[in-house]
Amino acid sequence: MFAKKFIFILLLTVASAAFASPKIEHWTTANGVPVYFVAAPELPMVDIQVLFDAGGAQDGELSGRALLTNAMLNEGADGLDADQIAAKFDDLGARFGNSSQRDMAMLSLRSLTTDSALNPALDLFHKVLTKPDFPQASFDRIQKQLLLGLQAEKQSPSAIASRAFYKNLYGEHPYRAMPAGDEKSLAAITVETLKTFYKNNYVAEKAIIAIVGQFDQVKAKKIAEKLSQDLGHGKSSTIPVVKALSQAKSETIPYPSSQTHILMGQPGIKRGDSDYFALYVGNHILGGSGLVSKLSDELREKRGLTYSVYSYFRLMREAGPYQLGLSTRNDQAQQALKVLRDTLNKFIKDGPTEKELLAAKKNITGGFALRVDSNSKIIGYIAMIAFYGLPLDYLDKFNDNIKAVTVEQIKDAFSRHVHPDKMVTIMVGGEAE
């Protein structure tokens, strides 16, 4: 057993030492779309993501229309129906994907790089991207699915808590609404609504292309030109700055369950904030490292109040939530909430120990190579760097930035950004089954 463990540690050490972050190349297409490319010669594959500033934050009064628009793109394009599109991608061994979040909407393609596979896959991907049909029957089906999903949410204490948390956290800010919408907004959306949203938001000015594949920049440029050339034009968009909370808010929502779900938090930081690394490492110690975190030690190990507790910064274009959460027996809810707050307050005051900081740095940097050990993982990082305008050397400097964090930097960053006396607290539960 000792020999196997030693060999495993040695292999990790060698892998970390040999790790070199991918080189990102960047240019702009003739249609004005930024492109980010990484040559990956190891596998005869290409991963492509086309990102749009067309997420739920652009919904306006009709929450859910960004998600519905994105979901409809592969339901029909240039006369092909959903089954035909799916069958063609499948016959080519290609994989299509699409999704919509608060900040962005995305379409993706994974294909072999041989001309016989890639060229027809790109042709089909281009049709889905630029010539969607928005068939009424598909719209009716997806709209119904979303409405059924909202009904299912009413049976989920965690989903109820999440909606209440965002509503209290963001007030009238666009981040307040859930990307899946609500019953009133979904009922008001029509196919024409989606066509208008597509026309205004799936445009060159709001697009970014990320490519990771087994070819050179010349081939990547041809692909990017093909995908972007028929995109329409429109206006770029912005979203308001998130305002800090001026006072604490709390809401208790009765629910017939034996467990109470607790969410606590506040607006945190936006992507690219200069304090990110100090807050990231600090939160890793506080509640982001699973069973070995301080929150887990205080609430699970010492007191048996919960099976799992967490905290994290969700980074978005504007300040995303800093969220702490757990579930516990109804009769322990107030005690668990007190321990949660006390542990957070103590961490802000005292920070981590040097020993805890060293362990966190080793854990984060030691596992970093595994986060970029495949094309699909790399393109996720490339897309993030591209969409949020992070430095191209972000991955190169990631481990060095982690290693440079000090206890004092963590204490300083937490004291300025995290305010336990001005947090939203949501509790869902309280009625035994």
Extents of the domains making up the chain: 24-228, 249-428
Q: Tell me, what amino acid is at 260?
A: T
C-alpha to C-alpha distances, 347 to 32, 148, 198, 259, 364, nearest whole angstrom? 47, 42, 46, 27, 20
Q: What is the CA radius of gyration of the chain?
A: 23
For residues 362 and 129, what is the distance between their CA atoms, to the nearest angstrom?
A: 42
pLDDT of residue 2: 37
pLDDT of residue 319: 98
pLDDT of residue 274: 97
**3-state secondary structure (DSSP) of residue 262:** strand
320: Cβ–Cβ under 8 A, 6 or more apart, which residues? 175, 267, 268, 269, 270, 271, 313, 314
Which CATH number applies to 24-228: 3.30.70.100, 3.50.50.60, 3.30.830.10, 3.40.50.1370? Answer: 3.30.830.10
Q: Tell me, what amino acid is at 321?
A: P
Two tokens at 362? 């080793």
Give the mean pLDDT per block of 10 residues along the chain (433 residues): 39 43 93 96 94 97 97 98 98 97 97 96 98 98 96 95 97 96 96 98 98 95 97 94 96 95 98 98 96 96 96 97 97 97 98 97 90 89 96 95 98 98 95 53
Interior CA angle at 144 toward 139 and 146, to 5°? 95
pLDDT of residue 433: 45
Please give the distance of CA 267 from its chain centroid, rounded to a whole number: 16
With contact defined as beta carbons under 8 Å apart, do 428 and 164 qualify?
yes
Look up the CATH architecture of domain 249-428: 2-Layer Sandwich (3.30)
Listed residue (231, 242, 112, 230) closest to 169, CA to CA: 242
Two tokens at 346? 């103590």
What are the φ/ψ torsions at residue 39 (nearest 5 degrees)? -75, 125
pLDDT of residue 367: 86
pLDDT of residue 372: 84
Listed residue (125, 51, 48) closest to 92, CA to CA: 125
pLDDT of residue 431: 65
Query: In CATH terms, are 24-228 and 249-428 the same topology?
Result: yes
What are the φ/ψ torsions at residue 247 (nearest 5 degrees)? -160, 165
With contact defined as beta carbons under 8 Å apart, do 216 and 39 qualify?
yes
